[in-house]
Amino acid sequence: MGKGVAVVVGGSVAGLACGHAVAGAGWDVVVLEKALAPATGGGTGAGLGLDAQSTETLARWIPGWDLDAAMLSLAVDLNRATDSETKAARTLARDDEFNFRAAHWGDLHRRLHESLPAAVTVLWGHQFLSFEASEDGGVVVTARVLRTGETVEVTGNLLVAADGCTSSIRRRFLPDLKLRYSGYCAWRGVFDFAGKEGSDTMTGIRRAYPELGTCLYFDLAYKTHAVLYELPRSRLNWLWYINGPEPELTGTSVTMEAKDAMVARMRDEAERVWCPELARLIRETAAPFVNVIYDADPLPRLSWAGGRVVLVGDAAHPTTPHGLRSTNMSVMDARSLGRCLARWDSEPLPARALAEYEAVRLPVVAAQVLHARQLGRLKQGLPVDGEAEGFDARTATAEEALQLRQRTMPFFGGAPTADDGGL
């Protein structure tokens, strides 16, 4: 029997990472996830970039993980200006010591799930409904079993909210906090080139982007930018950000299904804006989709209800993707939470552990969310900090372009944790 029971709402990467970290602190963990089954690691999915600190943390949780086989090294962060008329590209800013790795979301999720400690139970197909404080100082969580429709209760000493950027648990404590629309959306796609390495499309894209496999490319045109990098197992991940009014969404998802007419217009526009090689890759990508880009102002707190509830991952810090922070912040949230619970294991309630977790993580994630917001506005040519005009890749000086690099992110070299026994 563990030191207590933590109920984690959300079984994405953040929730499974908390399963590893909290179980490592000696707790039993129950994860509630509405998806009916874990990711298989296949399909198109999405790519993500992991920094050195997150990679080292994940290697602790996934014994025997062959990082060289599971990820590609991203040694270079390269920002280029694209002339939409001539299709010529020139370097704006380059960092040859980037030290990130490219991974596939589905593969990371599968590996985290398969390596969960015995103290972790994942209840798939369980949709969170509500929670209440129990008389003994714990929490009672109510969920619906999607396959049967029945309602069940799970009792614990701690509730970990890993339920994403639209978190219903966060809304319980901060009902007036609204997600902030960034001013742009992202077209996204993963191009599977297995068996197509010698095709005209791949020959062309490797000619136009000769460092694919080791480089994170940012191409900036006028008031728009695109991202391209290679993933393991013969896939290319691309994103294209487009300024515009906020779309109308239904439900809680920030992803929109793209209708055929939308996709056709997007592909035609890609040919106008980008080099022919990238435009062709976009045209030949199956099932592209749209993410509406949101973040939120930094939260005043990360723990609530007298130390019974704690927020992690996108529930704690909705962020734009430009600093490659979402997954990295989630992993470090989990690591810090686990270490704080271990350090205060003599306490009957986790309130002091959560206070330390909040003290460690809140300054980091607040700074990173705000910087990612600024980085996105820079690359989209939107005004920053009250300036009249936005960044223009066509006229930017070499010094101005340096602010585009990923290493301008606060705590780029690593965030403080509770691992060393102090703040």
135 or 213, greater pLDDT: 213
Task: Confirm or reject CATH 3.30.420.40 for domain 5-42+107-178+297-394, answering yes or no.
Answer: no
Task: Please determine, for residue 67, whether its predicted confidence score (pLDDT) is greater than 80.
Answer: no
The pTM (predicted TM-score) of the whole model is 0.94
pLDDT (0 to 100) of residue 44: 47
Mean pLDDT of 264-289: 96
Return d(Cα 33, Cα 45) in angstroms, integer: 18
Task: Please determine, for residue 253, whether its predicted confidence score (pLDDT) is greater than 80.
Answer: no
Domain locations in the chain as residue ranges: 5-42+107-178+297-394, 67-104+179-295
pLDDT digit string, tens, across residues 162-205: 999 999 999 999 999 999 999 999 999 999 999 999 999 999 99
pLDDT (0 to 100) of residue 41: 57
Q: Which CATH architecture has domain 67-104+179-295?
A: 2-Layer Sandwich (3.30)
Task: Please determine, for residue 323, whether its predicted confidence score (pLDDT) is greater than 80.
Answer: yes
User: Around Cβ 400, how many Cβ atoms within 10 Å?
Assistant: 15
pLDDT (0 to 100) of residue 423: 35
Residue 78, beta-bridge partner list: 94, 217
pLDDT digit string, tens, across residues 372-411: 999 999 999 999 887 778 899 999 999 999 999 999 999 9
Beta-sheet pairing, 47-50 with 72-74: unpaired
Helix segments in 50-95, DSSP class H: 52-61, 67-70
Give the mean pLDDT of the chain.
Answer: 93
Task: Please determine, for residue 421, whether its predicted confidence score (pLDDT) is greater than 50.
Answer: no
Return d(Cα 123, Cα 415) in angstroms, integer: 32
What is the amino acid identity at position 259? K
Mean pLDDT of 276-288: 96
Q: What SS3 class is residue 304?
A: strand
Confidence of residue 134 (pLDDT cuts 50, 70, 90): confident
pLDDT (0 to 100) of residue 348: 67
For 165-196, letters b (16+ CB in 10 Å) and e give bbbbbbeebbeeeeeeebebbbbbbbbebeee
Contact 120/17 with Cβ under 8 angstroms? Answer: no
Mean pLDDT of 55-72: 88
Mean pLDDT of 134-161: 95
Return d(Cα 183, Cα 218) in angstroms, integer: 19
